[in-house]
Chains A and B, each alone.
Chain A
Amino acid sequence: MDALTVVDLTLAGVLTGLLYGLMALGLSVIFGVVRVVNFAHGEMMTIAMYATVVLFTWLGLDPFVALLPVAAAFFGLGYLLQRGLINPFITRPEHSQFMLLVALAIILVNALLMIFGPDARHVQLDYLLEPIEVGPLLLDRGKVAAAGVAAVTAAALFAFFRFTLTGKAIRACADNHLGAQVIGLDVRRLYALTFGLGSACVAVAGCMMIVLVDVTPTLGPGYTLLAFVIVIVGGLGSMPGALLGGVLIGVSEALAGLFIAPSAKSMFSFALLILVLLLRPQGLLGKSA
């Protein structure tokens, strides 16, 4: 195997991994603050992918433009979902939360099947078929653009949590729930805001993912699982960890496919997961309990 191919495919793995990371970031943010594991995460991303297809088909809206209204809509939906449905379950046992979100995931998959049918849908943008030439390297234009959007979104999210008052308040909730209540923070509102932000993240990831892969209603569970693998590898609740986990999974899949067996490449994501669980159970950038 020549070095150029190795570099080319490793870069492709990094780009795909950044998008995976953005998807997992939403899950990590929600868990880090609300302490609820969103088992409908992949399904929510699938809905965002369908929303992008609809906007593209009906209004001719490019996914890179559509991501703004879709993210805004998902922020609102996430906010309402947390206030209306998930909030009553916050203090309930974890298995109740699990059942609630698994039920939600099943409902979402079946709703998509009823509305869109089982067929795969895609957004074909001819300008994305033309690769970007960097010296001898050929980079997938769609992946570069999607990874760029993922990086900008992640940076904006980091900035929000670090530099804004609301972001700091959310971090306070995450660090000390009782303390946040004592100093008068509206914890329920902040939880809803966080869920909205996590949903917006996954919406942006969905808008970009449709540029790279076809969408079917049953795509969600696979992505939910992938998001879990990523956040566990990176560290559940750690935002940089989610991005790092995404990139590691993307690169490991690319290299395993290149050097071992392409048809077994996803196996290596799980091998990495087991390795991390054995050697560093809290994840690469997670805090030990």
Chain B
Amino acid sequence: MARAISRRRFSLALAGAAASTVAPAYVRAQANRLKVGILLPRSGVQGFIGQSCQKGADLAPAVLKSMYGVDIELMNADTETSVDTARTRAERLIQEGAQVLVGPFDSGAASAIAQVAEQHSVPFVINIAAAPQITEQGYRFVFRNFPTAPELVRNGLTLIGDLFRVTGVVPRTAVYMHVNDTFGQANTKAIEAILPKLDFLPFKIVDTISYDPAAKDLTVEVGKAKATGADFLLLVSRLADAIILRREMVKQRWEPMGIISPGSPGMYENQFYQALGKYSEYCISNVPWYVPAAPLTKTVEAAFKKQNPKDELMFHALNVGYTFEALMIVADAYKRAGSGDAKTLTEAIRTTEIGSRMMLGGPIKFDAKGQVQGNASAGIQNLNLKPTVVLPEASAQTKPVFPTPGSRKA
């Protein structure tokens, strides 16, 4: 016969259940680990870049433990290259106990996550995202160690001027193609605002062609660009579309003087070389880059090699470098704050000053808007299937090749 449960027994059972629910959180808090929510597009159109960034996150806890003596626990979330998913994943990470958010390699996703971070008063350190408006909203918990689109474009265009000066070749016309997303539009606005003011760049943009970031076929876009007869292609792309576009250029035998990106991803990524082989050669990307000889780079490179024995850091330099630096900012602040409390940690991040870094540029120091100023770019050209620094001259590994051998007027 079943025994009836007394009120006392029921209360005891309830208390026990409540204690078992609370206990893990208490144990977690006692473990003195900072829980960092990592938001990256590990699948979808930007999947390859997200996975590349993830390599930088994965190696960080061990390296940062040795540097700062703090424990960091990564809570990984895939944004699936979707702004909506980024928002919901950020919400969930915070509900699951993330004390700080890092990510997400995408301006659209960064804008969405920034809103979530503000609502929950959780600090958010952006690894890569360039849309300027993210740090123009008066947010208190959002920080970015990556150039804004205007800064990125200004650096990139300046390097294009250097390219013309070093090679002595000055094209007269360009066709501008860009991916039609938040990042692409931010870059376009910056180019439209900055290019006319740069008198050392005498070329004229004869047409601007935008395309869907998830495009599967760029026949029409490339055909239209080719028809302009422009001397070179100025390109703001992502990775998947950059591969499709380059392949289409080969098919349509469009061989302009060069393909130059004033500051976008795609053409220096590992997957670009793997997918295109010899057709990846001579493309130029003027992007924030790492300093191979920096002591911190050596440390990160050793950790990278340990985790990815068959891979090389140079193919992931930007993604790994900025993701690692975002986590370094968090670890540094956590050490100084001595607490994972959101407000204390946020204030510690705000007062960050890190001089020794692996990426090009000045010290990591946030301005009143939460933006690091002074991240620099380098001219990277694909030579012998490797990203090679060709500009600025002072740190170039070799001279740039421009115009591309075999190029001809369309």
- A interface residues (Cβ-Cβ under 8 A, vs B): 1-2, 5, 8-9, 12-13, 16, 113, 117-120, 122, 124, 128-129, 131, 138, 140-142, 212-214, 216, 218-219, 253-254, 257-258, 261-263, 265-266
Contact = CB atoms under 8 A, between A and B. Distances in A.
Contact of A218 (B42, B44, B217, B221): B44
B209 to A, nearest CB: 6
Interface of B: 42-44, 47-48, 80, 180, 209-212, 216-217, 219-221, 223-224, 226-227, 240, 243-244, 247, 250-253, 275, 279
Contact of A262 (B221, B226, B275): B221
In the complex, which of the residues B48, B210, B223 has the most CB atoms of chain A within 10 Å of its own CB atom?
Answer: B223
Contacts of A141: 251
Given A131-B252, A138-B253, A218-B44, A213 B217 contact: yes
Nearest to B224: A258
Nearest to B239: A120
Contact of A265 (B80, B220, B279): B220
A99 to B, nearest CB: 24
Contact of B223 (A5, A117, A219): A5
Q: Please report whether the interface of chain A is mostly helix, strand, loop or mixed according to DSSP.
A: helix
Contact of A266 (B212, B240, B252): B212
B223 A118 contact: no
Contacts of B227: 1-2, 5
B275 A257 contact: no
- State the majority secondary structure of interface residues on B: helix
B220 A257 contact: yes
Contacts of A12: 219-220, 223
Contacts of B221: 257, 262
Nearest to A213: B216
Top 9 nearest A-B pairs by Cβ distance? A118-B43, A257-B220, A5-B227, A213-B216, A263-B180, A263-B210, A262-B221, A9-B223, A12-B219
B251 to A, nearest CB: 5
Contacts of B220: 9, 12-13, 253-254, 257-258, 262, 265
Contact of A118 (B44, B211, B219, B279): B44
A5 B254 CA distance: 13
A127 B6 CA distance: 81
Contacts of B211: 262-263
B238 to A, nearest CB: 12
Contacts of B223: 5, 8-9, 12, 258
A142 B248 CA distance: 11
Nearest to A128: B251
A118 B253 contact: no
A258 B221 CA distance: 7
A120 B224 CA distance: 26
B44 to A, nearest CB: 6
13 contacts: A1-B224, A2-B227, A9-B223, A120-B48, A129-B247, A129-B251, A138-B252, A138-B253, A212-B216, A213-B217, A219-B216, A257-B221, A262-B224
A140 B180 contact: no
